Copies of this chain bind each other. A is one copy, B any other.
Amino acid sequence: MSDYVTVTFEPAGVKATVPVGTNLYEAAQQAGVEISGSCGGQGTCGECQVILAEGKVSKPTSQEKELLTTALIEEGTRLACQTELLGDAVVRVPSVQEVVVRKALTAESVRSVPLAPNVRRYDLKVPTASLDDQRSDFRRLAEAITEQPANLTATVQCLRGLASALRAEDQQVAVTAVGSQVVDVRPTSQRSPVLGVAVDIGTSTVAVYLVDLETGEALVTAAGQNPQTQFGADVVSRIQYANSHSDGLTALRNEILATINQLIRQAVEEAGAALADVYEATIVGNTCMHHIFLGLEPRYLAESPYVPVTAEAVSTSADRLGLEINPHGNVFCLPCIAGFVGADTVGVIVASELTRRDRPTLAVDIGTNGEIALWSGERLLTASCAAGPAFEGAQIHHGMRAAPGAIDEVFVGGDDLAVHTIDDQPARGICGSGLFDATAVLLELGLIDAKGHIVDGQSCGTLSDTVAGRVGGEANERHVVLADAGQSASSPIVLTQRDVREIQLAKSAIRASTEMLLEMVGLKTDDLEEVLIAGAFGNFINPASALRMGLLPEVPEGKIAGIGNAAGAGAILTLVSLRERDYARQVAETAEHIELFRSSDFQDRFAEYMIFP
């Protein structure tokens, strides 16, 4: 009668009729629907998340407010054990642990994956020992975990505090396991967050993403310049530095380590947490950054035959590397593919699920080096080319990274050039996407000719005087003013003849490589389903500009997609999901790396694509 209500569990469509006031956890058990939960319905583990599709239920409890973000609660997410049925209802049960990475990162597009991190938190009531239950403290604890990882062990450090921790609050404890190893056990009242960091070591920029591993939520992003730039702008100059100084590698490693530790500290402070709450770090970076971070000799990356010391994923204790997170936390460095195709490219492939696609897709990661991954639908080919750091703003007269005040768009407004700057700040320089636009617009206006010369504005009749007036300097040393003194923070921001040369070299290397890979697998431009552009500025790139300057195969503009800092996204995905971590390993194992320079065709192509279309 009216004392009973019916609840339907989706997607299974299973129903249960239960007394009013029954909570969803019990109702699910009655219906035979499995809902995960390690605290046994005590509202402490936060695992029994369900989504209320319709119906009347009790209001969120204080425990739910503590364990779920406001955004989750607003979307209808509830803890089954805390939610009482007040009327008929329909409830969606996510597949086990399907809590997704919901919050997009600044300038990132991280796809949603089921939350299945390597680090797990268990909130337990461990049975008290007795003469009839003489199991050891650790065994009683381990067996109290419902979904116990295989071969669960514990660090000696953790075992040292175990007896006291168990007995402090009547065997109520919060347990943290990294992989199959318990690293922390503490009384429930001392429970703290379970955090992880994804670290993207770019040649120019380092980014740290702090993620809540219980919710998958990205909490804070912290980024800064790679301090190794003082030893050289590109990887080859840094390798030379390491080779020619007895403590060169140590110096390079110490610099990057200090910066990463600083960024982590900054992010953790901003989140109001403690460094010890960070139990895992995933690391991406090109092979050279990877080697230097680990302290491996980078010398042979730069000498034929360009082999890494190791390309496999490296997993080790944080204290072994000097990474200042929980000392017993784990550091997972994504695998590399070759000497110049690193864990960053693996990250891009993971983030874009390149090899899970049905149709041929090209991914181009434009950083200080250019890496190209072509998925033919059957084979994964990778290649690298020395694009130079032009597209990241380095070795460009007014180049800068994508930060406030960077010119990130250039277009024709009325009869003049116009620019947009990040955060609408006075112009301080030009970043990658701005360079793309500037090149494309100046080509279109005829201010740059096919060979890449900045032409004399006056001799170019079709231009308005205003635009023509932006060209300054003598032949071969001309420049174009993109933002005059009035628009800029200080002096005018210009694009120089030299800058155009750098851009030409970079785009030609990438285009020639791309075309050669396509040929190798017998594909034509038309066969490509999509062309993905990764890189710190990738999200903002104007596909039309990339096409106009001839950077990419001539696909329709709609097939080009910017996927942002996909390497960083890959690091985040492998942090929140062991399945994605396995995928990263599989990507590295199946990739076929091509050394393009071995082909005599390459130089011809390179020369050919120096010409702008």
List A residues at the B interface (Cβ < 8 Å): 129-131, 133-140, 153-157, 159-160, 162-164, 294-297, 299-300, 304-312, 314-316, 320-321, 338-339, 593, 595, 598
Is the pair B312, A137 in contact by a Cβ cutoff of 8 Å? Answer: no
CB nearest to A157 among chain B residues:
B320
Taking A159-B296, A295-B156 as contacts, is the C-beta distance between A310 and B134 under 8 angstroms? Answer: no
Q: How far is the CB of A104 from chain B (nearest CB, A)?
A: 34
Taking A135-B307, A307-B135, A311-B139 as contacts, is the C-beta distance between A294 and B156 under 8 angstroms? Answer: yes
Cα–Cα distance between A513 and B595 once the two chains are bound (Å)? 75
A160, A162, A339, most chain B CB atoms within 10 A? A160
Q: Please, which residues of chain B bring their CB within 8 A of the CB of A139?
A: 310-312
Among B131, B137, B300, the residue within 8 A (CB) of A595 is B131
Q: How far is the CB of A137 from chain B (nearest CB, A)?
A: 5
Is the pair A138, B304 in contact by a Cβ cutoff of 8 Å? Answer: no
Among B136, B304, B307, the residue within 8 A (CB) of A309 is B136
Is the pair A321, B136 in contact by a Cβ cutoff of 8 Å? Answer: no
Is the pair A312, B131 in contact by a Cβ cutoff of 8 Å? Answer: no
Q: Please, which residues of chain B bring their CB within 8 A of the CB of A131?
A: 304-305, 595, 598
Is the pair A138, B339 in contact by a Cβ cutoff of 8 Å? Answer: no
Cα–Cα distance between A135 and B305 once the two chains are bound (Å)? 10
Cα–Cα distance between A304 and B595 once the two chains are bound (Å)? 69
Is the pair B339, A134 in contact by a Cβ cutoff of 8 Å? Answer: yes
Q: Please give 9 more A-B residue pairs, beta carbons under 8 A apart, in addition to A136-B311, A156-B314, A156-B320.
A: A131-B595, A133-B305, A134-B339, A136-B307, A136-B308, A139-B310, A140-B307, A159-B309, A160-B296
Q: How far is the CB of A570 from chain B (nearest CB, A)?
A: 20
Q: Please, which residues of chain B bring their CB within 8 A of the CB of A595?
A: 131, 134
Among all A-B residue pairs, the 8 with the closest Cβ atoms: A138-B310, A136-B311, A129-B307, A163-B297, A136-B308, A131-B305, A137-B309, A136-B310
Cα–Cα distance between A154 and B295 once the two chains are bound (Å)? 14
Cα–Cα distance between A321 and B138 once the two chains are bound (Å)? 19
Taking A164-B297, A300-B163, A598-B131 as contacts, is the C-beta distance between A308 and B137 under 8 angstroms? Answer: yes
Cα–Cα distance between A315 and B311 once the two chains are bound (Å)? 27
Cα–Cα distance between A338 and B164 once the two chains are bound (Å)? 19
Is the pair A297, B160 in contact by a Cβ cutoff of 8 Å? Answer: yes
Q: Please, which residues of chain B bring their CB within 8 A of the CB of A305?
A: 129-131, 133-134
Q: Please, which residues of chain B bring their CB within 8 A of the CB of A294?
A: 156, 159-160
CB nearest to A164 among chain B residues:
B297
Return 9 A-B CB contacts under 8 Å, by A number.
Answer: A131-B304, A134-B306, A138-B309, A138-B312, A140-B307, A157-B320, A159-B314, A162-B297, A162-B310
Is the pair A134, B297 in contact by a Cβ cutoff of 8 Å? Answer: no
Cα–Cα distance between A130 and B305 once the two chains are bound (Å)? 5
Q: How far is the CB of A94 from chain B (nearest CB, A)?
A: 32
Q: Please, which residues of chain B bring their CB within 8 A of the CB of A299?
A: 163
CB nearest to A299 among chain B residues:
B163
Q: Please, which residues of chain B bring their CB within 8 A of the CB of A593?
A: 134
Q: Please, which residues of chain B bring their CB within 8 A of the CB of A164?
A: 297
Is the pair A310, B129 in contact by a Cβ cutoff of 8 Å? Answer: no
Q: How far is the CB of A402 from chain B (nearest CB, A)?
A: 33
Taking A139-B312, A312-B139 as contacts, is the C-beta distance between A307 and B134 under 8 angstroms? Answer: yes
CB nearest to A335 among chain B residues:
B136
Taking A129-B305, A163-B296, A297-B163 as contacts, is the C-beta distance between A321 and B156 under 8 angstroms? Answer: yes
Q: How far is the CB of A537 from chain B (nearest CB, A)?
A: 31
Q: Please, which residues of chain B bring their CB within 8 A of the CB of A135?
A: 307
Q: How far is the CB of A128 from chain B (nearest CB, A)?
A: 9
Cα–Cα distance between A598 and B134 once the two chains are bound (Å)? 13
Is the pair B307, A137 in contact by a Cβ cutoff of 8 Å? Answer: yes
Q: How far is the CB of A122 from chain B (nearest CB, A)?
A: 17
Q: How far is the CB of A496 from chain B (nearest CB, A)?
A: 38
Cα–Cα distance between A129 and B299 once the two chains are bound (Å)? 14
Q: Please, which residues of chain B bring their CB within 8 A of the CB of A156?
A: 294-296, 314, 316, 320-321
Cα–Cα distance between A162 and B291 once the two chains are bound (Å)? 12
CB nearest to A338 among chain B residues:
B134
A135, A140, A294, A308, most chain B CB atoms within 10 A? A308
Cα–Cα distance between A316 and B297 once the two chains are bound (Å)? 28
Cα–Cα distance between A89 and B306 once the two chains are bound (Å)? 50
Among B129, B133, B160, B296, the residue within 8 A (CB) of A295 is B160
Cα–Cα distance between A164 and B243 once the two chains are bound (Å)? 12
Q: Please, which residues of chain B bring their CB within 8 A of the CB of A157?
A: 320
A304, A305, A339, A598, most chain B CB atoms within 10 A? A305
Q: Please, which residues of chain B bring their CB within 8 A of the CB of A311?
A: 136, 138-139
Cα–Cα distance between A310 and B133 once the two chains are bound (Å)? 14
Cα–Cα distance between A321 and B160 once the two chains are bound (Å)? 12
Q: Please, which residues of chain B bring their CB within 8 A of the CB of A297?
A: 160, 162-164
Q: How far is the CB of A136 from chain B (nearest CB, A)?
A: 4
Cα–Cα distance between A305 and B315 once the two chains are bound (Å)? 39
Q: How far is the CB of A260 from chain B (nearest CB, A)?
A: 16
Cα–Cα distance between A295 and B314 once the two chains are bound (Å)? 30
Cα–Cα distance between A295 and B306 once the two chains are bound (Å)? 47
Q: Please, which residues of chain B bring their CB within 8 A of the CB of A307?
A: 129, 134-137, 140
Is the pair A309, B134 in contact by a Cβ cutoff of 8 Å? Answer: no
Q: Please, which residues of chain B bring their CB within 8 A of the CB of A155?
A: 316, 320
Q: Please, which residues of chain B bring their CB within 8 A of the CB of A154?
A: 310
